[in-house]
Amino acid sequence: MDKEAGAQDEIYLKRLERHHDELRWLYMELYENDSMFAELMDNMKHFFTERNADLKNQDAERESHQDWYKQNDMLGMMFYIDNFAKNMKGVESKLDYIERCNVNYIHLMPFLETTEGRSDGGYAVADFRKVQEKLGSMEDLDSLTASCHKKGINVCMDFVMNHTSEDHEWAKRARAGEGEYMSRYFFFQDDSIPSQYERTVPQVFPTTAPGNFTYLPDAGHYVMTSFYPYQWDLNYRNPRVFNEMMYNFLYLANRGIDIIRIDAVPYIWKELNTQCRNLPQVHTIVRMMRIISEIVCPGVLLLGEVVMEPEKVVPYFGTIEKPECHMLYNVTTMATTWHTVATRDVRLLKRQLDIVNSLPKDYVFLNYLRCHDDIGWGLDYGTLMTEGIGERSHKQYLNDYFQGYAGDSNSRGELYNADPVTGDARFCGTTASMCGIEKAGFEQNGEAMERAIRLDVMLHAYMFMQSGIPVIYSGDEIGQVNDYTYKEDPQKVADSRYIHRGAMNWKLAENIKDPKTVEAKMFSSLDRLEHIRKSEKVFVSNADTWTIETWDQSILCIGRYFEGEKIIGLFNFSEFDKTAWINETDGDYTDLISGKVMKPVGINVPAYGFYYLKHISE
């Protein structure tokens, strides 16, 4: 054995020693299977040995700086590879643009093998070790991640572990009646057990994919399908499923992925007579994933997709001693932000931020204004009810507002999964269209356009002020509007989410050089904010963050403090000039946007305007 291999073995053994006993205990608690645990151990060592030298060096660097992702320079961008640049080689050719956007973290939307027409946007995976042909190959992925790392850009991908496509090899063999593969899913000969599950398990898509089971006439069995009929839920009671999925996880980590987004985390474990959500075994599985990654590839972060309010999301961080996910999405705050736009009332948002700000600073949230998905109105209706706002009527108002029908709205967009019985629906649209840029452009109204851009920029400024890591959706940096061409595509027409998943318009992106254009105004404004965020240390994730009462329902005020430096952000969610009746009496502040010196006392904030006020130290 050469010297380098010996040194690497020593590193591995040290990590294993630190975690082995807990991992074994958790595994045996779940599976009571020595031989499967021994197999897992062997394969972990194999994947560590296969990991290339550059990734191992990065692991070592990140192990010695464990807060590397909590700094104020982290900025994410998410996109579909084909929409952004046709394929992986195309993305590699656009890295200079990504760098110019000050982005150092790209989330590549699902790119693994899937079946056209039965893909759920790539979330029905047919092969975890193959890239969709139209997007490239595993070699292209290796090349892309290596190029990203040279530029200091982290790469995030989705790991869809709750289910596979019905076209996955396991599913095909299960369908053919092979018992070993049937046991990797939930197969039932008749509907007696499925009907018991249906009594307690909520439906994910009650209108487009009702029920949690699908009957397979050719196989003569029911199979559990929580999402769509072509997505078969995996049975994590079977240790073979856990082991094989962990090998897929490590295989992808070894392709140079830095952040692995675990899709639909709360659903992973199923139990009869429960809701099959957030069960204790889910936390055991996520904790084991965290341990496995800390042994084999500690430079990799786990991002959990848990779509719930902060109090219910928090358990997925684990504890300080036994962490689970490194990062989680700040879903409720995102939905509450748009509620605030529609009502011009910041009270619920202030309450939401107070909850997030009260959590331990080790917890890192991803903040965003929109993502690839629809916006569901999962707000704190208990609080809204105390103000006389009912859930059904308010959801109706929000959907009417963002379609442009109510409340002096300038927004444009479409409903998703509208349920005529309950009146429930979710909403789809790009940030720019929701802010009025589409309407103002269509009407060629210059004044309305300036106002819409101001709202869009203010929302980004507010998002950057939140605690955590901001992520923008590709195209938002140039104010890209809704794309209605999805209606001409038979594969997409039934899914209105494609309205905000339009192809990146590179012709419009060229306009960032022309200061008179919408694209340049958006791009330069965000560029300025991003540079402020990276240069001011109070924007680190673990700074003290709090809200300040403004005594005006339309103005939100956020304070940040870190190592003797303090910044106050003021954000006007109204189309009228307003006064923030704050009274910070600790001296003069500089507005980081205009350079103007002022005292933060009774400040006039222009319509859809904002301030970043930095305390001038004595």
What are the catalytic residues? 263, 305
Cα–Cα distance measured from residue 373 to residue 375, given in angstroms and rounded to the nearest whole number: 7
Residue with tokens 């072509």: 230
Q: Which amino acid is at 408?
A: D
87 vs 366: CA distance, rounded Å: 26
Burial (Cβ within 10 Å: 0-12, 13-18, ≥19) of residue 199: exposed
3-state SS assignment for residue 556? strand
- Cα 99 to Cα 105: distance, rounded to the nearest angstrom: 10
CB 277 within 8 A of CB 202: yes
Q: Which residues are within 8 A (CB) of 273 and not within 5 positions of it... i.e. 6 or more apart?
A: 196, 200
Burial, 179: exposed, middle or buried (Cβ in 10 Å; 0-12, 13-18, 19+)? exposed
CA 140 from centroid of its chain's CA atoms: 24
* HSE of 614, CA atoms in CB hemisphere, 13 A: 19
Closest residue by Cα to residue 62 from 292, 298, 320, 258: 298
How many Å apart are CA 512 and CA 505, to the nearest integer? 12
| 57's tokens | 């060096």
Running DSSP on this structure, what letter comes out for residue 202? P
